[in-house]
Structure 1
Amino acid sequence: MAVARIGISGWTYAPWRGTFYPKGLVHRDELRFAAERLDSIEINGSFYSLQRPTSYQHWAQTTPDDFVFSVKGGRYITHILRLKNTRGALANFFASGALALGPKLGPLLWQLPPNLPFDPEAVSAFLASLPRTTTAAAALAAESTLESDRTFLDPGPDRPLRHAMEVRNPTFDDPAFVKIARDQNIAIVVADTAGRYPVLREVTTDFMYARLHGDVELYTSGYTPEALTRWAQDVRGWLAHDLDVYVYFDNDVKVRSPYDAMALRELLA
């Protein structure tokens, strides 16, 4: 059966302390607290810098057995290299510890910058270069230039890897991009960005990935009960078509994302 997982993008935010997180809760217990109320979290620290294998191992050990993390690909790959000549950077990214999540490793997210227009050749080549199994990811990671104590190269039992791409330039609203994603078996992220960036709802693989950044004010506004009901209808529709669903709330500025995620989970329950 298809499964829906509803979570948040990141969990370490100072304004959440004393609001979502109870006053006095120690920092190291924040992930455990969030994971008791949600069934998935998007790791976004990996977007800003390479994390350490020990961090991924700690996150895996801290969360319930049926918990799943999505992992955001590095901005060095998407924003600096802009999807070109990325093999070395991809090797370092996959060596840095995501495989240490084991069976808790869910989709990998590749978020493109707004100033990166659709280049069919570059996008197709990049997506084709992504490993589709943990064994392939470990083989690529073996090419890493990181110090050995910064790498985790054990693929564990071979498992498939899923990838999703979030686009922010209007030129990606193109049937050619949808075809590339479908041919490469990559999910196109359904991104709610208060109208700032394109909203693409195409089904291109066996799962859907939605990021809800705020429907009125980006990263700030909470979702009304009516808005959450509409998203619940979308999720049910995707599930009815046998698609797994991952939804992450990223409207964190005013401490809305964890509450909206819990409310959507309740609606789906």
Structure 2
Amino acid sequence: MTKGTIRVGIGGWTYEPWRGTFYPPKWPQKRELDYAASKLTAIEINGTYYSSFRPASFAGWAKAVPEGFVFALKASRYATNRKVLAEAGESVMRFIGQGIVELGDRLGPILWQFMATKRFEPDDFQAFLALLPERHDGVALRHAVQVRHESFQTPEFVAMARAANVAIVFDDSEGAPSFPDATSDFVYARLENAVEEEPAGYAPAALDEWASGAVEWAKGGVPAALPCAGSEAAPIAPRDVFMFFINGAKVRAPFGAMALIERLGER
């Protein structure tokens, strides 16, 4: 069966404990992105959550990675960490307009992450989704939202995201609501339960399950072992999948990503 492209990566590429473990000893720091991009197929850039960057930075990152590699961008906290989301329009466009389109075909989804205390207020969240542009300067944009309050775990929210063609992040972490629901033409998963005791962060059996789940998402379905919060969507095939090993035992993240990529190569 035809399936979408599955890309697997980590959060960022600059992390001191990766030097001498993931990165070879004495590897030049200015070439860490080059090395990471040779082993992985995607990276989630978290620095864009805290500050803006110049267009030249995005263009430089695009040139440093091979064809087919993509960057997901965590959107500005000024757009999401607010009481009234409907008033975020200026912050949304400031983020979109800072030069992210310089990534060209290396531009992956934009991640809009909300605080764990942010509750689901249907009218306000609907207004926020309406602020997310489908295109900017001729470049198509894909959006994913990560919500972490239990009040979002309702069919109403799932239907709202699906109508907007916005992905709900599947978050593998303790205490957060889980949304394996397919609400867009791509899936965005963050695997945050890594432990340092496992060389790849997750046990081999768990990595096997994530590989199977990624393939199922990519074929247009939903992993059977993951209960959905809303009604089941009509299958879409193919569907791109983005999976990031992030947080948890961060030192293990690159090894988890590489182990998953290896498993996917066998399927």
- Counterpart of 1:246? 242
Q: Which residue of 2 aligns with 1:6?
A: 8
Residue in structure 1 matched with residue 166 of structure 2 by the alignment? 186
Matches within 5 A, 1:90-129: 90-129=92-131
Specify whether residues 43 and 55 from structure 1 end up closer, same or farther in structure 2 by C-alpha distance, changes over 3 A only: same
* 1:253, distance to aligned residue in structure 2 (A): 4.2
Deviation of 1:266 (Å):
0.4
- Say whether 1:174 aligns with 2:154: yes
The change in CA–CA distance for 1:254 and 1:131 in structure 2 (over 3 A counts) is closer
Query: How far does residue 120 in structure 1 lie from its aligned partner after superposition?
Result: 0.7
Cα deviations across residues 102-138 of structure 1 (Å, max 9, x unaligned)?
11111111111001000111111111111101xxx2x
Q: In the aligned structure 1, how far is the partner of 2:160 from the partner of 2:16?
A: 40
Aligned position for 1:256: 252
Displacement of 1:81 in angstroms is 5.6
CA contact (8 A) 1:221 1:254 kept: no
Match of 1:205 among 168, 184, 202: 184
Give SS of 2:112's match: strand
**Superposition RMSD in Å:** 1.8
Could you tell me whether the CA contact under 8 Å between 1:192 and 1:215 is conserved in 2?
no
| Other structure's SS at 2:27 match | coil
Say which SS state the counterpart of residue 200 (structure 1) adopts.
coil
Letter in 2 for 1:174: T
| Pairing partner for 1:265 from 255, 261, 264 | 261
Secondary structure in 2 aligned to 1:202?
coil
Structure 1 pair 92–81 and aligned structure 2 pair: CA distance change class (3 A)? farther
Is the contact made by 1:222 and 1:251 (CA closer than 8 Å) also made in structure 2? no
| 1:1-269 alignment, distance < 5 Å | 1-80=3-82, 83-133=85-135, 137=136, 155=137, 158-193=138-173, 195-214=174-193, 222-241=201-220, 242=237, 243-251=239-247, 253-269=249-265
Count the aligned residue pairs: 244
The 1:82–1:265 alpha-carbon spacing in structure 2 relative to 1, beyond 3 Å, is farther
| Overall identity of the aligned pairs, in % | 44
SS of 1:84's equivalent in the other structure is helix
Aligned-pair distance for 1:10? 1.1
Instruction: For 1:254 and 1:100, locate their aligned partners in 2 and report how far apart those are by CA, in whole Å.
Output: 29
TM-score by length of 1: 0.86
